[in-house]
Amino acid sequence: MKKSTSTTKDRFWSGMDDHAATIVVAVVRNEEASPAERFTVSNDEKGLKELIKRLQSLKGEVRCVYEAGPCGYGLQRRLMKAGIRCDVAAPSLTPQRTGQRVKTDRRDALKLAEMLRGQVLTMVTIPEIEREALRDLVRAREDAGEDLLRARNRLSRLLLRHGLQYREGNRWTRAHWRWINAVRFEQEHTQEALNNYITVVNSCKDRVEALTKLLKTASEEYPQVIGRYSALRGVDWLTAVTLYSEFGDLRRFRSASSLMSAAGLVPSEVSSGPRQRRGAITKTGNAHARRVLVEAAWHARRQPKVGQTLRKRRQNLPAEVVRIAEKAEGRLHRKFSRMIYRNKRSTVAAVAVARELTGFLWAIAQLP
């Protein structure tokens, strides 16, 4: 049999397994079973230039793909700038062969190329550079908040080990801090440890406040999006800017259910024949957005009431936005209450309410 020769009508499918040090590439041509090319380049400026040169030397249409990971979208943007079409696949949705027990970078690259050719990969939406920068700031503040929580827990555990507990009211108030600062240990080393924990907590708190201030200023560049989302009960400016930085324009989702799926809030299901069995949520989606949506859903526990803060947020908003927000208040509260009445755990009810809250956010985004 004659080997197929390259023509201008050939189509090349390139799978790339990228790491901090190297990029492993496999290229398949048309419907051929064996790869046309396999090579490895370094993940630096020299290696990227070599990669672009080798891909541009292919005589035909070239499409590339790699899985989203810690290396970000720099490779995709670089290839697109060079005129080479490149997509980024969602790794959690990449089909897996259950019987395959050998995994190498070369095999992964070839598998991606073959799956790209077979159109079985689910691609992620590449954020704009400006929105990605905003997302970096949002996640930096989120990390700082987690660090503050850990620092406070460590300080509390130190005091608890020595039989000291604050029982005068809420923790981390001014009164609580006066009580902490008044603590004195007989052992010098223990006192030094306490002083160090206090310093770390104050440092983390200052970091959170500084990042919050920066994020507040950055969110003012998107007044329409932030303002409309904030009309919903439980969705303040921080939740709204987090959702925008993670998802962008919600109108890109064809339906509310697709947005719920992107947040990983849809229930898993194992059904066969007449039997239907649904389980926990898939969590196959954006964990950062899912967290703030569930936090916002807890506000549905209480009877709907428009306070001064919420009334101020709804000022100067379109009447249709306010109508949807008011409809959401009653519906979400009824859903939370009914689930609790049916002896569902409050955490399960909050997730279910978060799923419906996502639908109302999608509905608001569709408005002109």
| Residue 2 resides in a domain | no
| Residue 235 resides in a domain | yes
Q: Are residues 241 and 200 in the same domain?
A: no
Share of the chain above pLDDT 90, in %: 90
| Residue 137 resides in a domain | yes
Extract the tokens encoding 73: 């979208």
Task: Decide: pTM greater than 0.95.
Answer: no
Choosing from 201, 219, 237, the residue where a domain stops is: 219
* pLDDT beyond 70 at 257: yes
Q: Are residues 244 and 147 in the same domain?
A: no
* pLDDT beyond 70 at 8: no
Return the amino acid letter for 121.
L
Q: Are residues 227 and 99 in the same domain?
A: no
pLDDT in tens, 196-239: 999 999 999 999 999 999 999 999 999 999 999 999 999 999 99
Share of the chain above pLDDT 70, in %: 98
pLDDT of residue 272: 80
Q: Are residues 27 and 161 in the same domain?
A: no
- The whole-number average pLDDT for the span 72-99 is 93
| Residue 4 resides in a domain | no
Domain count, the chain: 3
| Residue 52 resides in a domain | yes
Domain limits at 240? Answer: 223-365
- The whole-number average pLDDT for the span 24-32 is 96
pLDDT of residue 124: 94
Choosing from 87, 118, 149, the residue where a domain stops is: 118
> β-strand 278-281 against 267-269: which pairing, if any?
antiparallel
pLDDT in tens, 147-195: 999 999 999 999 999 999 999 999 999 999 999 999 999 999 999 999 9
pLDDT in tens, 133-145: 999 999 999 999 9
pLDDT of residue 3: 47
| Residue 198 resides in a domain | yes
Q: Are residues 253 and 332 in the same domain?
A: yes
Average pLDDT, the chain: 94
d(CA 21, CA 57): 24
pLDDT in tens, 268-323: 988 888 888 888 999 988 999 999 999 999 999 999 999 999 999 999 999 999 99
Q: Are residues 134 and 97 in the same domain?
A: no
Q: Are residues 153 and 183 in the same domain?
A: yes
Q: Are residues 338 and 301 in the same domain?
A: yes
* CATH code where residue 106 lies: 3.30.420.40
